[in-house]
Amino acid sequence: MSFYCAGRQRTAPSDSPPLFRYTSGTNRSAAQRKGGPVLLYHGSRHGIEGPIAPTSRDRCDFGRDFYLGTEPTQPLTLICDFPDARFYTVELDLDGLDVRELSADATWALVVAYHRGKMEQARDTDLYVATAAVLEGADVAVGPIANDRMFVVLDRFFNGEITDVALIKSLSALQLGNQVVALTQAACDAIRIVDKRGLSEDERTELIATSEANRAEGVALAERICRDCRREGRFFDEILEAGVPLG
């Protein structure tokens, strides 16, 4: 299988540092670095053009914002299918910004559901209003990333196949890193690009294999936890039908 477009192949520039420099185990919490800049990572399918702005594609976890990862492999496994992808190391200065941090719990899952358009049937409920207000007025959101290991588990929750208890236990077991999301232009203006590079063919091939393995791991984990927790907790439709904010 080829992951390149019509005979075009792009390799990393010769002066780019090796990929292992970026994947050697960085995990910094933005919430713990509010006194100054925090080092983060961003992946773009075709590169950033113009000023950084909160305008990602529709139906992302926290809305159409600018997404950053606390670990390099987070964005890398999301862009590795694209020959023109660019990987960025950035600094985000959190001074003066309103930072909201979400834990790996059902509230986080509902915030993701709200921004992905999964809560429309509960639009007139207190639950919907409370969920919509979680990030209201914030400049930056920090919370678990629904990466390639979590996509399948989260979709199973939204589709009514596993309960909230199974979802939370999956979040804990997978030990996901956080995503740091610039929600406002003020937050985007506080981002400084430190480094930019492309990905070589070998790097992209390795990352694609890693992404596929991670997704398979998520499927296997969801199957086991679903069996163990089949009678615990509530399903997504039950939470929406109740319409009551989570306490």
pLDDT tens column, 200-227:
999 999 988 988 887 787 778 778 887 8
DSSP 32: G
pLDDT computed for residue 148 by the predictor? 63
DSSP string computed for 190-246: TEEEEEEE---HHHHHHHHHHHHHHHHHHHHHHHHHHHHTTTSS--HHHHHHH----
Quickly state the pLDDT bin for 174 (edges 50, 70, 90).
confident
Residue 2 above 70 pLDDT?
A: no
pLDDT of residue 147: 66
The angle that helices 151-158 and 164-174 make with each other, rounded to 10 degrees, is 170
State residue 146's pLDDT score.
73
Report the interhelical angle of 151-158 vs 106-115 (nearest 10°): 80
- Report d(CA 201, CA 214) in Å as an integer: 20
Average pLDDT over residues 172-200: 91
Its pTM stands at: 0.80
Tens digits of residue pLDDT in 7-50: 223 333 334 444 434 443 334 444 444 456 999 999 999 999 99
How far is residue 61 from each of residues 38, 111, 113, measured CA to CA in Å? 21, 8, 8
Mean of pLDDT over the chain: 81
Comparing 244 with 109, the larger pLDDT belongs to 109
3-state secondary structure of 51: coil
- Indicate whether 232 pLDDT > 80: yes
Helix residue ranges per DSSP H, the chain: 73-79, 106-115, 126-132, 151-158, 164-174, 185-189, 201-228, 236-242
**What percent of the chain lies above the pLDDT cut of 90?**
45
Cβ contact 115:61 at 8 Å: yes
CB 86 within 8 A of CB 197: yes
User: Structure tokens of 208?
Assistant: 């694609």
Determine the pLDDT at residue 18. Answer: 42
